[in-house]
Structure 1
Amino acid sequence: MTIVAIPHRITDSTVDFDAARMSPESLILAVRHASGDRNKVAAEEFELNLTFGNRWADDLSEQPPRFYSIDGDELTIPPRSSVIVESAEEIGLPNNLFGLILPKGTLFQAQGVYPLQAKIDPRWRGRLWLLIINSSNERRVIKRGQALAAVLFLETNRTVRGSEELRDSVPAPNRPATTRQRVLRRLSSIPVPLWAAAISAATTLLVNLLAN
C-alpha cells in the first residue's frame, strides 16, 4: 500500500466525489461541520486532522447509545477513563482508498490523551466516533474544534466493487448493534494501562509494515 498525498485529492463536493469514486484519480470527501456551517477541510501533505465536534457518549452498552451535546465548548475526561466523541468532520472514502486513524503525538505528550487507533474502510461515508483515552492521573479537558487524531490514507491494491456506502448510524431500538459498536463497548471497559501497551505494540507494527 502507498500513503496518499492528499491536498489535491480532497473535495467538499458530493457530486465530484461520487463521479470519481471508482477512478484511479478518486477523491476524498472531507467536510467540517461547525456552528451549522459546512466547510472544506484543509489538510497537510499526508494527513488530515479529526477534531472534536459537538457530541459525546460514555456508555455504548445502551441501545441505542445515548449521545450528549457538550455543555459550552469543553468536555472534561476523568483520570484514567475514556469517552466516545464524534468528529466534526464528515469523511467519505472512495472504493480504492483505506484510512488509518492515529494519535496526535503532541496531545499525548502534553496531556496523556490519545484516541484508539482505528480504520476507515473503502466506501465509508459519515462522521467518525473516536474512543478518547485519558491515561493520566489528572482530569483533562478537550475543546470543541481541537485536533484529536490524524488520518492517513492508503491506496488499496484493488478497487472494491459496489456503490453502497458504509455508514455507522445509531441503530434503531430493536436493531442489533453493529460489529463496530459491540467492539467499542468491549474496548471502553478495558483498563487504561492495558491501552498504553496495546497502542505501543500497534504503532510499532504499523511503522514496520509501512517501512517494508
Structure 2
Amino acid sequence: MAVIHLTDRHTKDRGIFEKNLESVSSYVFVNNSAVVDQFEISLTIGDSYTNMFPAREEIFGNIPEEGVLIRPKTAMLFTTAEVLNLPHNIFGVIFPKGSMFIRYAIMIPTTKIDPGFHDNLYIFVQNMGSKPYRIKRGDVIASVSFFSTDSTPSEIRKTQKPSHKGRMPRLRDSILSVLRRIAERTWELLVAMIGGGIVLTIIQKVWG
C-alpha cells in the first residue's frame, strides 16, 4: 500500500475519471476549487454546518459571512468546499492539521473515505480549549491523502454523505441562524465586559 502521488493521479475531467475507474492508473476526481499538493489535498470549510447531533440533512444551516463561533468544550460539523470522487482502487484518509490543536486546542478526528465515494465531505470540529474559536468559509481545516488498494473490485457501491446542496433555507433554519448570531455577539460582549471590569479593578488597586 502506497501513498498516491497526486501530481500524476488527479483529474478535473469527468471523462478521464470514468474511463479509468478500474485501471491501475486510476485518478482521483476533484472539483475546480481543490488545491492539490504532491501527496495531499487541502480541505477547506464549505457553506454549511450544524451544532446539533445526531446530525441530519435538514438541520444544516448556512454559514454566515462572519463565520461561526465554536465555544469551549463544544463541537460542530462542517461541509467542505472540496468535492471528491474516488475510483474503485483508492481510499482516502483525512488528517487534522497539527497546528490547529497546538495553537487553539481544536481537535479534528482522522477519518477514512471509502473507494467509490462521491460528494463533498463532513469535518467534525471540536473545541477542547478554554477560549471560543471562530471558523469561516474557506478556512483550511484538514488535509486528505490517498492510498492504493491491493486489488480492484469490478463492482463497488458508490457512497456519499446526505446531500443538502442547493436546498432553500427553511424559516426554522433562518430563525435559528439569527438566534445563534445574537447569542455569539452577546457572548463576545459579555467576555469583553468581564475583561474590561477586571482591568479596571486592577488599575484602581494600583493607582488607588
TM over 0.5: yes
Q: Which amino acid aligns with 1:14?
A: R
SS in structure 2 at match of 1:29:
strand
* Secondary structure in structure 1 of the residue aligned to 2:159: coil
Equivalent position to 1:138, from 131, 136, 139: 131
Distance 2:18 2:156 in 1: 9
Structure 2: 5+ residue runs without aligned partners?
Answer: 165-208
1:84-114, Cα deviation, whole Å (9 max, x unpaired): 0000010111000010111011222221113
2:33 pairs with 1:6: no
Query: Are the equivalent residues in 2 in contact too, given 1:57–1:65 (CA < 8 A)?
Result: no
Which residue number in structure 2 is paired with residue 15 of structure 1? 15
Check 1:62–1:82 CA distance in 2 against 1; reply closer, same or farther (3 A cut).
Answer: closer
Q: Which has the higher helix share?
A: 2
Q: Do the aligned partners of 1:107 and 1:113 also contact (CA within 8 Å) in 2?
A: yes
Task: Note the aligned Cα RMSD (angstroms).
Answer: 1.7
* Corresponding residue number in structure 2 for 1:49: 42
Residue in structure 2 matched with residue 80 of structure 1 by the alignment = 73
- Tell me the equivalent position of 2:30: 30
Give the secondary-structure state (helix, strand or coil) at the position aligned to 2:7: coil
Give the equivalent residue in structure 1 for 2:158.
165
Q: Which has the higher strand share?
A: 1
Change (3 A) 1:146 1:24: same
Q: Distance in 1 between matches of 2:42 and 2:55?
A: 29
Give 1:164 shift.
Answer: 4.2
Query: 1:60–1:66: 8 Å Cα contact kept in structure 2?
Result: no
How many Å separate the matches in 2 of 1:71 and 1:42? 23
SS at match of 2:135: strand
Name the CA shift for 1:6/1:63 in 2 (closer, same or farther; >3 Å): closer
Whether the 8 Å CA contact 1:93–1:125 is kept in 2: the answer is yes
SS in 1 for 2:47: strand
Distance in 1 (alpha carbons) for counterparts of 2:84 and 2:100: 22
CA contact (8 A) 2:57 2:162 kept: no
Query: Gaps (5+ residues) in structure 1?
Result: 32-38, 172-212
Q: Deviations over 1:21-58 (max 9, x none)?
A: 11111000111xxxxxxx25232221111100010011
Matches of 2:5 and 2:66 in 1, distance apart? 32
Query: In structure 2, the residue corresponding to 1:15 is in which secondary structure?
Result: helix
Give percent identity, aligned residues only.
26
Post-superposition shift, 1:18? 0.9
Report the structure number with the largest CA radius of gyration: 2
Work out the number of aligned pairs and report it. 164
Counterparts of 1:73 and 1:13 in 2: how far apart (Å)? 34
Distance 1:63 1:152 in 2: 27
Give the 5 Å matches for 1:105-184: 105-162=98-155, 164-170=157-163
TM-score, length basis structure 2: 0.74
How far 1:156 moved relative to its partner?
Answer: 0.4
Q: What letter matches 1:21 in structure 2? A: L
How many Å apart are 1:163 and its aligned residue? Answer: 5.3
State the one-letter code of the partner of 1:113.
I
